Structure 1
Amino acid sequence: MQKLNIKKYISDGLLIVFSVLFALFINKIAERMDMQTRKETALTSIRSELYRNSGVIAMWNEKHGAIQNRLDSLITGKNDSLMKVMLQNDYLDLGILTNQQSLIEAVLSDTAWESAKAAGIVSQFDFDTTQKLTNVYKMQTVLMDDTVRSILDLYFSRESHKMDDMDATLFQFHLRFHELVGQEILMKQLYDEAITAID
């Protein structure tokens, strides 16, 4: 009788251990599937964000390239009529350089990328994808926070509106727009690489 009780206890114990291990196994599979779903959702959102940002950069590049060309023609003296228009004011009118359009009409987004990082999903990406995405978003930050800001800081500087020193001011703008246009070309390449890595 005691042997029967011991066998029953052992079989019950084994059944409990098996049940716990099976439940943990099922839970682990469910967690993996949930993480895979979250990873795919994050990559889809990031891909959409990159496509949108790439379109914004293409628009910026066209507009900023035209501004760079205007500045080039002013600095080299090839556009005296535009220089005369600029010198009619007692301040630097940026609208003359931008063809009366705003400098930045759409902003670059990083919401999907930041959300994926905050949720810890980025750790699920392969190394190449993570590297490409990190590069593109870091460069995007440099472009927005450093290059565009330097142009705005120059424009809002009191020194830039001294009309007797217009040549030096235009040269400074030309340098900054040259850098901006170059970075926009690089950004387009980085977006393409990152999208390819995701796909």
Structure 2
Amino acid sequence: MKSPKIGKLFFDSFLIVFSVLLALFLNEYRETSKEEKEKERALQMVQIELKNNLKTLNELHFYHKTVLKNYETALEGGDVIMSYNEQRSLINQLMPNGITQKVLDDSAWETIKQSSVSSNLDINKIFALSKLYKIQKLGVNTTLKHISTNLNSQKIFNEPNSRKALFLVKNQFEELVSQEVFLIGIYNKTISEFEEVETAEKVSDT
């Protein structure tokens, strides 16, 4: 027959082990819950960014199509001899609101990449976002920079014939408009896929 003291010792030992395991479980649960909330918040941020960028992109696309049409119309008149100042004045008329009024943001995406949240996200979502922002950076954003560089350079306006400068910038706006069409399609596809996954996850939780 076991001594009461031995029984109590076993019971106390069990309580200590149980307390330690319970503390570890609760701590792990809290960490998992925290990571899950951070992941949800990160996805919400990037989804908001995607929708805002798509709205901006549609607005820019509409404006850039108008600018492109202005350049095409100006080039229909044939060769025109102009001074540097006259060429600059014409360019300003063709682009009444400048090259662009807004920029496409990538703050939420950059935040996710630099945080530990990215390791908890679905690989398909990471791939889709990485592809979208890469196309945005190497396509639309790069072309906008090239247009800005050319329009701020006196080199293309150093000839009295304005046609060469107009033709160069017109071609770049043509490329920009084409890239915007492609990027808008990528944005719509990515947003739609995110919403489908989110809806499926909500259904599975009910």
Q: Deviations over 1:71-127 (max 9, x none)?
A: 23334x2x46xx76x9374443321221x2121111111112222222221222212
- Output the CA distance in 1 between the equivalents of 2:179 and 2:141: 13
Select between 18-27 and 65-74 the one with higher mean Cα deviation: 65-74
Aligned to 1:97: 94
Q: RMSD of the TM alignment (CA)?
A: 2.4
- What are the within-5 Å matches in structure 2 for residues 83-122 of structure 1? 87=82, 89-93=85-89, 94-98=91-95, 100-122=96-118
Return 5+ residue gaps in structure 2 as ranges. 196-206
- Output the CA distance in 2 between the equivalents of 1:107 and 1:159: 26
Check conservation: 2:60, 2:100, Cα contact below 8 A: yes
SS at match of 1:164: coil
Paired residue type of 2:43: L
1:195 paired to 2:191: yes
1:22 paired to 2:17: no
- Output the CA distance in 1 between the equivalents of 2:159 and 2:63: 25
- Output the CA distance in 2 between the equivalents of 1:9 and 1:163: 98
Q: How many residues align?
A: 193
Select between 63-72 and 89-98 the one with higher mean Cα deviation: 89-98
1:138 paired residue among 134, 137, 153: 134
- Output the CA distance in 2 between the equivalents of 1:123 and 1:192: 25
- Output the CA distance in 2 between the equivalents of 1:187 and 1:144: 8
- Output the CA distance in 2 between the equivalents of 1:144 and 1:31: 40
Question: Which stretches of structure 1, 4 residues or longer, exceed 6 Å deviation after superposition?
Answer: none
Paired residue type of 2:102: A
- Output the CA distance in 2 between the equivalents of 1:140 and 1:122: 20
When normalised by structure 1's length, the TM-score is 0.84
SS at match of 1:92: helix
When normalised by structure 2's length, the TM-score is 0.82
Aligned to 1:58: 58
